[in-house]
Chains A and B, each alone.
Chain A
Amino acid sequence: MTNVMIVEDQAMPRQLFELFIRQSENYELLYSIESAGLAELYCMRRPPDLILMDVCTAMGESGLEAAERIKKKYPEIKIIVVTSMPECSYMDRARAAGVESFWYKEISREPILELMDRTMAGESVYPDALPEVMIGAASSREFTDRELEVLRELTSGDPDTEIAARLNMSVWTVRTHIRHLLEKTGFDSRTRLAVEARESGLVIRGY
């Protein structure tokens, strides 16, 4: 039997995962919690074998950060990051943290149980490509990494000087990136750009 911990702050998907696990023969639900920040504490005494980890979880805690901490202390625990956010950096960050598998709640065709089986069998399963998101006239794949970084910070609503300081760029570089982003998307204002980018979930700050 594989003991599973679910880290998911919304009742609906959590119930679905719980249901899947209860119905399966190979898995047993050990913990079901809402905030990723607390996941590590659950691993201390009676660690699970597998964690289904959401990214944006209760109390603003990041599932990716939690996964990184858990992987450092308990590398034997397998983790599947599950998210509905197409945020472009999540997959890379999950890989860097040593997370075994990655699953998009809506886009991934493969049932979650199958992914859990493969992951437990030692496979590492990641989607082939990032989900494509349209922002204005541009596809999310048209943006460069630096542009996406600027775009992410742009959603903070902070002035260019602060964005530049956070990204270790000059203000002019930040403005050039913003100009390119506006050209690509065809938007006429940075606010519109920021709102559309944030709404699409392509860039999310704070998790």
Chain B
Amino acid sequence: MTQSAEWLPAGAFRMLAAFGVAVFFLVFALFLTAPQRTRRIRYIAGPFAASLVSAVLMIAWDLPFSETFTSFDALPGAVRRILALPVWVGVLIDLFAAAGACFSEAMLRRHRRESITRASVRESVDNLPAGLCFALEGGLPLMVNRTMENLCQSITGDGLLNANRFWETLNGRGKTADVPEIEAADAVAVRMNDGRTWVFSRKNITVDGEAVVQFMATDATDLYALGKRLEEDNRALADMNRRLSRYGENVTELTRDEEILETKMQIHDNLGQILMASRVALASEERDPAVIRELFGRWKQSVALLRHEAVPETADGADPVRQIEEAAEAAGMKVVFRGRFPREDRAAARLLFTATREALTNAVRHAGANELYVELAETPGFWRAVFTNDGERPRGGIVEGGGLSGLRKRVEDAGGSMTTRADPAFSLTITVPKRVGEREERK
């Protein structure tokens, strides 16, 4: 010891060595507490090496080397060279070690702050506004967050012990509660007592090769309310469109009613004028026969027009069957109706009317027929009409010209059907849907 003191500043050396040991332990502590092996190595590699050097220096000084190596010169060459290093090298090495340790500590702190630990996962999952539960397929919960636990408590009155049983309870309750079922197969909406609506969904996932069932509960109160409003709005819209469509059907009549009223007012105005003119004519001394005749003519006109006021008008004119029979007669044909013409079902009556006049026109023009037979029948939901005639059957099949193809479009657009046959005789069959439902709806 004493020998070394002669050529080494012993006090400084001792101090440095003690400092090195401290650094060594600090680094060792870091090594133990670092969360990840790779990071541990990276953090400690530099400082550890530095402190190792310090330790060697300390050992070189402190151990009774002197007994083995009686003089400095007796020390092995490598040790001698290290010991011969100037003091500032040791200081530098220690400063490096200290800086490295501080750096390591700082890194570690940052890492702790930013990395996810088991506890931090748990904490954030608990703070989720959504309910979350992972369970084994058998129902054993692996993890239940606070929201899910609370939901389970308020629904079942008990904690979540078996996820599958909880799911069954939800499904049973979701159906009975005043909540329409969500469209998805594995989801159910439940209205809680506090008025909020939660949607529970189930999903199979795989975690590290293991099958796990994930249950989620989402607060869908706002979404649900919006959805409900949308549904109502859509219903209102559909209703409005239906009314608009019906209005379209009837507005022609309304416009006509206005016209009729206007014409009537004109006639009444006329009548007033004639009345005045008549009074003037009657009051005057000279009675011009020409004037009287003219007045009489005008009276006759107005009365003739007014007589029709008493006859109630329908939008579709006179009886459709009579209209057709008269037209057929004008064309030299006879129409034989069998069955009842559905006069009360306006849309159907119009289609059947069009079909009949089309069949009639074709019978005259193409078949040279004298009679058209119309067989009307009623089937559930439909009116059916079969048209045949006593003319020649069409040769080479039936070509649906403008009339028939137009009729087909109208019939099919209305939800009916149309078929034609050329063999053994020409026949045309159409079905048109009844509109009973809509009439009831109107009431």
Whether B268 sits at the interface, judged by CB under 8 Å, is no
- Name the segment of A9-17, A137-145, A175-183 touching the other chain: A9-17
Q: List 27 A-B contacts (CB under 8 A).
A: A10-B256, A10-B259, A10-B313, A12-B263, A13-B259, A15-B305, A16-B263, A31-B330, A35-B357, A37-B354, A41-B327, A41-B330, A42-B330, A44-B331, A44-B365, A57-B317, A59-B353, A60-B350, A61-B353, A61-B354, A69-B402, A85-B255, A156-B244, A157-B241, A159-B241, A191-B240, A206-B248
**1/0 per position for B324-361, CB-CB distance to A under 8 A?**
10111011110000000000000001100110010011
CB-CB < 8 A to B318: which residues of A? 34, 58
Instruction: Identify which of residues 1-26 in chain A touch chain B, using a CB-to-CB cut-off of 8 Å.
Output: 9-13, 15-16, 19
Cα distance A31–B327 in the bound complex, in angstroms: 10
Contact with A along B392-427 (1 / 0, CB 8 A): 000000000011000000000000000000000000
CB–CB B245/A157 < 8 A: yes
Chain B residue at minimum C-beta to C-beta distance from A66: B357
Note all chain A residues with C-beta closer than 8 A to B323. Answer: 33-35, 38, 58-59
For window 305-320 of B, CB contacts with A under 8 Å fall at: 305, 308, 311, 313, 315-318, 320
Given the complex of chains A and B, what is the CA–CA distance between A199 and B291 in angstroms? 44
A38–B324 CB distance below 8 A: yes
Using a CB–CB cutoff of 8 Å, the interface residues on chain A facing chain B are 9-13, 15-16, 19, 31, 33-35, 37-38, 40-42, 44-46, 56-61, 69, 84-85, 105-106, 155-159, 191, 194-195, 198-199, 201, 204-207
The one of B301, B328, B365 that contacts A19, using a Cβ cutoff of 8 Å: B301
Report the bound CA distance from A16 to B308 in whole Å.
Answer: 11
Alpha-carbon gap, A42 to B364, bound state (A): 12
Does A155 lie within 8 Å of B317, measured CB to CB? no
Smallest CB separation, A103 vs chain B (Å): 15
Report A-chain residues with C-beta under 8 Å of the C-beta of B313: 10-11
A34 to B320 Cα, complex, angstroms? 10
- In the complex, which residues of chain A have a beta carbon less than 8 angstroms from the beta carbon of B360? 41
Known: A10-B259, A158-B245. A45 touches B331 (CB 8 A): yes
- In the bound complex, what is the Cα–Cα distance between A58 and B301 (angstroms)? 25
Indicate which residue in A37, A41, A56, A195 contacts B247 across the interface (CB closer than 8 Å): A195
- Bound-complex Cα distance A207 to B354 (A): 13
Q: Nearest CB to that of A203 among chain B residues? A: B248
A181–B353 CA distance with the chains assembled, in angstroms: 37
Which chain A residues border B361 with CB–CB below 8 Å?
Answer: 40-41
> Which of A10, A194, A204 is B244 in contact with, Cβ under 8 Å?
A194
- Shortest 9 CB-CB distances between A and B: which pairs? A58-B317, A34-B317, A157-B244, A157-B245, A38-B327, A157-B241, A41-B327, A41-B331, A60-B350
Please determine whether B350 and A59 come into contact, CB atoms closer than 8 angstroms. yes
Inter-chain contact B308/A44, CB cutoff 8 Å: no
Q: If the complex has contacts A11-B311, A84-B259, are A204 and B252 also in contact, measured as CB distance less than 8 A?
A: yes
Give the shortest distance, in Å, between B348 (CB) and chain A (any CB). Answer: 11
Q: In the bound complex, do residue B331 and residue A42 qualify as a contact, i.e. CB atoms below 8 Å apart?
A: yes
- Asked if B245 and A156 make an inter-chain contact with CB atoms under 8 angstroms apart, the answer reads yes
Min C-beta distance of B297 to chain A, whole Å? 9
Interface core residue of B317, B332, B365 (most chain A CB under 10 Å): B317
Partner of A37, one of B241, B252, B349, B357: B357
- Bound complex: CA of A111 vs CA of B208, how far in Å? 93
With both beta carbons as reference points, the residue of chain B lying nearest to A65 in the complex is identified as: B406
Q: Which of A34, A45, A58, A155 is B248 in contact with, Cβ under 8 Å?
A: A155
Interface members, chain B 277-327 (any A CB < 8 Å) = 301, 304-305, 308, 311, 313, 315-318, 320, 323-324, 326-327
- List the B side residues contacting A16 at CB < 8 Å: 263, 305
CB of A44 within 8 A of CB of B247, answer no
- Find B357's partner among A12, A38, A44, A201 (CB 8 Å cutoff): A38
Instruction: Tell me the complex Cα distance, A35–B365, Å.
Output: 20
User: Are A15 and B353 interface neighbours, CB within 8 A?
Assistant: no
